[in-house]
A and B are shown apart, each in its own frame.
Chain A
Amino acid sequence: MHKPSVPSTSPPIVAVTTTGPTVAIHATNPQRGDVYWVKIPKKHTVGHEQYKRRPFLIVSNNAIHHLDLVIGVPLSFQTQKANRQYHIQVLATDIATDLGSTLDPGNRIALTEQVRCLSIERLEPARQARISDTAVYAVEAGLAFVMDIR
């Protein structure tokens, strides 16, 4: 079975040459508080794990990103999923979308129980938004509960 080699710790820019210009195919410098699109195919999930293409909020410490791994929490559009327990509401006013972002405006719900480790190869190249510190730490409150961090 093929196993991909361990990536180097150099800046994670992967480029492919097609008929057009060179294109970066994944995020280059994700930071805590950034939002990226991530596609998780259904066949990579079981049970209640989230799949499909979703915006993920990066919650990991920037100090571990040199491993080309991040930890992210999916953001749901379905605000009727409720701002309850570890589902943390992120208000539209706390989301600063980037130029060219394809993220629809509006409130989001951070599904902290769906936190997962992501290779940065899974992040689409363009950052979509930046979340305010206040909202990131509110999401952290949900994560602390989910992980039972004392």
Chain B
Amino acid sequence: MALAECLEPVRHGISLRPPDVLFVRKPQAKVLRRGLATIVLAALRESDTLLQPLLTAKGKAEFVSRRKKIFQDYVNLSFVIANSFSGTEAEKREVATKNAFKLVQHIIHTKGTPSIGTERVRETVFCLDTLRRASRLVCELHSRGAAPTDWKDKDQELSANFTAAALWAQLHLDCIRLVVTKSKDGVEQDVLDEIMAGARTAVMAYSYVRQGLELRTKQETYLVEGGPLDAEDKDLLQESYSDYSESESGLDAQA
């Protein structure tokens, strides 16, 4: 619900301008030419400044209210970063994104436990890994070109949903990174719970981009019908059937 509320004023813009790259961090900005790198670094600094007040919120209600206020600006900054990167070669973008995920994952892994606890570190690693997979699928999706005309509306809807979910997850993952690296006093528990719930949207980002990819591949015919089974196939199949009966016999014998 909170996501829907925050997205209401920007949803239309998002659907028309899906970013090529999400989740870029400072070291990756350096792969850009000087002018672009300066823009991206400034945007990243601004983005961190924008998120800082969220971490000092006294309770979930205040966090939600502050998030609603800053979300539009966060989206705009993300588009600035994404658009700056879209001028570079695809390979460079892919490497930058991959390294950004690696870097943040490393930070959370090595420094996260004291401030957010082991369980939340695991959850964050899962969300980062899932968002990374989603961004890889975006590259694959781009390489396959436009969706078939019949699916254009569905494709646009998925694209808007993906962008919204990915930005939402990214905002909360950025919050976690700031909690781990910059927050001296830590954050309230219910605020942390809300941040973790937001980061979880990475799962939906994966789902939407995967559906988008499916629209482009469902026409392909592959493995529709396997050929005749050879001796090895039959043996493997036989084993998978007999596993249960053998384990049952073994257990019966033990009993």
B248 & A44 in contact (Cβ 8 Å cutoff):
yes
Q: CB-CB < 8 A to B168: which residues of A?
A: none
Main secondary structure of the interface of A (DSSP, over half): mixed
Within 8 A of A (CB), among B196-255: 200, 202-204, 206-208, 210-211, 214, 222-226, 229, 234, 237-238, 240-242, 244-249, 251
A85 & B126 in contact (Cβ 8 Å cutoff):
yes
Contact flag A141-B207 (CB < 8 Å), given A61-B223, A63-B223? yes
| Closest B residue to A42 using CB positions | B251
- Bound CA–CA A134/B157 (angstroms): 12
Residue B66 is within 8 A (CB to CB) of chain A in the complex: no
Residue B133 is within 8 A (CB to CB) of chain A in the complex: yes
| Closest B residue to A4 using CB positions | B241
Instruction: Encode contact with B along A72-107: 1 for CB under 8 Å, 0 otherwise.
Output: 000000000001111010000000000000000000
Residue B140 is within 8 A (CB to CB) of chain A in the complex: no
Q: CB-CB < 8 A to B251: which residues of A?
A: 43
Q: CB-CB < 8 A to B129: which residues of A?
A: 145
Residue B163 is within 8 A (CB to CB) of chain A in the complex: no
Cβ 8 A contact of B246, one of A1, A84, A135 = A1
Contact flag A3-B245 (CB < 8 Å), given A83-B200, A119-B240, A141-B206? yes
Residue B122 is within 8 A (CB to CB) of chain A in the complex: yes
Interface residues on B, range: 35 or more
Residue A15 is within 8 A (CB to CB) of chain B in the complex: no
Cβ 8 A contact of A43, one of B126, B134, B248 = B248
Residue A138 is within 8 A (CB to CB) of chain B in the complex: yes
Residue B159 is within 8 A (CB to CB) of chain A in the complex: no
Q: CB-CB < 8 A to B190: which residues of A?
A: none
Whole-angstrom distance from the CB of A65 to the nearest CB of chain B? Answer: 10
A142 & B241 in contact (Cβ 8 Å cutoff):
no
Q: CB-CB < 8 A to A14: which residues of B?
A: none
Residue B84 is within 8 A (CB to CB) of chain A in the complex: no
Interface-centre pick from A43, A61, A149 (highest chain B CB count, 10 A):
A43
B211 & A140 in contact (Cβ 8 Å cutoff):
no
A3 & B242 in contact (Cβ 8 Å cutoff):
yes
Q: CB-CB < 8 A to B202: which residues of A?
A: 141
| Closest A residue to B207 using CB positions | A137
Residue A117 is within 8 A (CB to CB) of chain B in the complex: yes
B206 & A138 in contact (Cβ 8 Å cutoff):
yes
Q: CB-CB < 8 A to A43: which residues of B?
A: 247-248, 251
Beyond contacts A141-B133, A144-B133: 12 other A-B pairs, Cβ-Cβ < 8 A, are A1-B245, A1-B249, A4-B242, A6-B238, A44-B248, A63-B226, A67-B226, A134-B204, A141-B203, A144-B206, A150-B133, A150-B136
Q: Which 7 A-B pairs have the closest CB atoms?
A: A137-B207, A63-B223, A141-B206, A137-B210, A138-B207, A85-B126, A43-B251
Residues in chain A within 8 A of chain B (CB atoms): 1-4, 6-7, 9, 41, 43-44, 61, 63-64, 66-67, 69, 83-86, 88, 117, 119, 133-135, 137-138, 140-142, 144-145, 149-150
